[in-house]
Amino acid sequence: MADEDGDYWFLRLWCQRLTFLFSSLVMVYISLVLYTWKYKEGGVICPDFRFDQTYLHKDLQIEEEGYVLTNTNRLTRRNDGQLKQYRGVVGAVPLNRERKTVLVLRYLISMKSKAGDRTPLLHVGFVQRQHIDKPGQTSKGFLIAIMECQDKTMCLVVKKKELTRRKIPLFKNNKDSFYSGRLIILISSSSMTVAFTGVDPTSEIAYTFEEIDIHTDMWWPFYGIFNPDIANVTITFPSDEQTDAVFDQSTCHDGVFISPDGQALSNVMMGDNFRTGYKVGRQMYRGVVGDMSYEVHQIQYQDKPFYFAIQITGDIEMRKLNVKEILFEIGFAPKDVVEKHSTLQYHKKAWSLHFSRCSTLLRICVEFMERGKKVKTLVYNIINDELLLSSTISVEIEPNVGSLKFYGSEGDLWQEYQDVDFSFPLFPVFGMTDKSFLKMKLLTEDKVPNYNVLGYFGSSPVCDI
């Protein structure tokens, strides 16, 4: 009987101890949850940024409000409508037979030298789409032009099929002349009225075409802008007025500069945001640039590194990849990479990693490049011809100490660069192949996989959110 009482006492003691231990662990867990909920400060900064649409290659597509990049457009090559001969851009929509069309635009002209005989600076016209990019397109439809019309005068000229209907003197044809004005074009199913304003803010009717039918064969507006050696010319759409004027940015000629929002057109570079032609579908680089840069003296974040992750998924047919062909790459470089280079690999101001097939065998290599030179290679053997890729690569950036780190999916440090030159802005750059389907998803702010009290992604740093 005494032995039974002893066993009971011993069992009861252990139950009490286990209960106490379990209760203590629960309390610690709850305390940690409450602490991490109240104090969200972490060891890194995870600012929000997105893929920049203005630097997107024609084979790629941006989705989910700028956070996802895919190469699905490789199957439907875009931008076949880009103007090759006519220095201008096409309107986004044709004229509408069901309602009146109102086109309002402003223009600025700053003369650099005297214009020669009949030299045009600006066109706004209407013609069937197939004629716009052909010589003599202005002889097929309606045209409003600003051009030299007398030896000492620049005029507003209204034409129909090359027949001049009216000339209106605007300003002197002299070096250093400056002129700003506004065009208003009202179009119905049977008439078109051209009005303008200049020095006098009151609108004046330049000409009215009566009894016309420009809707029968689907007529499109087009905008031309010429002779940058003679004058700086800019067209803008006023945000404070109702207008149906919209540029189709994908049609923009290489020799014309357009703003990222598609609201301004110029024959000269007006600022860093303007790009010659429309870079969607043009640039050599098969990729895109992020809309945030990193450089020294970003004071508000100087005490903590920047951090983001990129989730990569894809269905890779290994046999379709040539040896040394890059599947995707992630790196940091100046913006001009998309203007002059097809890869980051040999860019002298780039730091990057490259995921590629590296031998005739089914092997994948992750190569790390610094200023055009290879510094490290990781090799992975692939079992099957088809690789179902699912990986998360994390990046840590410290501009003020010149540090850049790449981490693999398990949080292991793949590569650390210690002498990165952040004295000029470096942008995150993302490239991918057209041989197999790939998808990249940016993870920023609270989307970054963070450490929590359960240990999920415990190797990832905590974002300061």
Cβ atoms of 9 and 1 closer than 8 Å: no
User: pLDDT higher for 301 or 112?
Assistant: 112
Q: Which amino acid is at 267?
A: N
Q: How far is CA 194 from the centre of its chain?
A: 36
Confidence (pLDDT) at 139: 76
pLDDT at 384 over 70: no
Q: Which two tokens stand for residue 65?
A: 């409000």
Give the whole-angstrom CA distance, residue 112 versus residue 228: 9
Cβ atoms of 211 and 188 closer than 8 Å: no
My answer on whether 318 and 269 are in the same domain is no
My answer on whether 290 and 322 are in the same domain is yes
In a domain, 258, yes or no: yes
My answer on whether 69 and 99 are in the same domain is no
In a domain, 39, yes or no: no
In a domain, 32, yes or no: no
Mean pLDDT of 274-286: 58
pLDDT at 347 over 90: no
Task: State what percent of residues in the chain have pLDDT above 90.
Answer: 29
pLDDT bucket at 133, cuts 50 / 70 / 90: confident
Question: Number of folded domains in the chain?
Answer: 2
User: pLDDT higher for 262 or 289?
Assistant: 289
Give the whole-angstrom CA distance, residue 183 versus residue 197: 7
My answer on whether 332 and 391 are in the same domain is yes
Domain extent, residue 423, equals 53-78+283-447
Q: Which of 150, 166, 205, 163 is nearest to 183 (CA)?
A: 205
State the pTM of this model.
Answer: 0.51
Of the listed ranges 29-38, 45-54, 297-306, 423-432, the least confidently predicted one is 29-38
My answer on whether 374 and 330 are in the same domain is yes
Cβ-based burial of 378 (10 A; exposed 0-12, middle 13-18, buried ≥19)? middle
In a domain, 336, yes or no: yes
My answer on whether 219 and 135 are in the same domain is yes
Instruction: Name the range with the highest mean pLDDT among 101-105, 199-203, 224-228.
Output: 224-228
Chosen domain end from 224, 252, 276? 276
My answer on whether 316 and 205 are in the same domain is no
Give the whole-angstrom CA distance, residue 190 versus residue 210: 6
